Structure 1
Amino acid sequence: MLLNNCSALVTDDIINQQSMKSISIPYAGLYSPTNERDRVNAVSLLNLIQNHEDAFCRSRIQGHVTASAFVVNPAHSHVILTNHAKLDCWLQLGGHCDGERDPLAVAQREAREESGLTDIRVARPEIFDIDIHQIPEHHDTPAHQHYDIRYLLVAEMSEPLRPSVESHDLAWVPLSRLAYYTDKPSVLVLSHKLETL
Structure 2
Amino acid sequence: MSLHDDAVLVLKGYAPEADAAQDELRQVYLDHLAQHADGMWKACGAGHLTASALVIDADRGRVLLTLHRKLRMWLQMGGHCEPQDSALAAAALREATEESGIEGLTLLPGGPVRLDRHPIPAPCHWHLDVQYAALAPAGATEQLSDESLDLRWYAYDEVASVADASVARLLEGTLTALERRAQP
Q: TM class by shorter-chain length?
A: 0.7 to 0.9
Question: Cα offset for 1:44?
Answer: 0.5
User: Is 2:89–2:111's contact at 8 Å kept on the other side of the alignment?
Assistant: no
Question: Is 2:176 the partner of 1:195?
Answer: yes
**1:186 is matched with which residue?**
166
User: Is 1:58–1:98's contact at 8 Å kept on the other side of the alignment?
Assistant: no
Structure in which a larger fraction of residues adopt helix: 2
The residue correspondences of 1:158-177 to structure 2 (distance < 5 A) are 158-177=139-158
Distance 1:127 1:75, change over 3 A: same
**2:16 is matched with which residue?**
33
Which runs of 5 or more structure 1 residues have no equivalent in the other structure?
Answer: 4-23
Percent of pairs with identical residues:
32
Q: CA RMSD in A?
A: 2.4
* Paired AA for residue 87 in structure 2: D
* Paired AA for residue 133 in structure 1: H
**1:124 is matched with which residue?**
109
Q: Structure 2 length as normaliser, TM-score?
A: 0.83
Q: Deviations over 1:152-194 (max 9, x none)?
A: 2100362221111110001111111011211x22111023312
Distance 1:56 1:106, change over 3 A: same
Structure 1 runs (4+) deviating above 3 angstroms are 98-101
User: Is 2:7–2:88's contact at 8 Å kept on the other side of the alignment?
Assistant: no
Structure in which a larger fraction of residues adopt strand: 1
Q: Structure 1 length as normaliser, TM-score?
A: 0.78
Who wins on radius of gyration, i.e. which is larger? 1
User: Is 1:56–1:97's contact at 8 Å kept on the other side of the alignment?
Assistant: yes
C-alpha distance in 2, partners of 1:117/1:84? Answer: 17
Helix, strand or coil for the counterpart of 1:192?
Answer: helix
Q: Deviations over 1:18-51 (max 9, x none)?
A: xxxxxx9614363121312211210101111122
Which runs of 5 or more structure 2 residues have no equivalent in the other structure?
Answer: none
User: Is 1:56–1:101's contact at 8 Å kept on the other side of the alignment?
Assistant: no
Question: Cα offset for 1:88?
Answer: 0.7
Distance 1:160 1:192, change over 3 A: closer
User: Is 1:125–1:151's contact at 8 Å kept on the other side of the alignment?
Assistant: no
User: Is 1:68–1:110's contact at 8 Å kept on the other side of the alignment?
Assistant: yes
Number of residue pairs matched by the alignment: 172
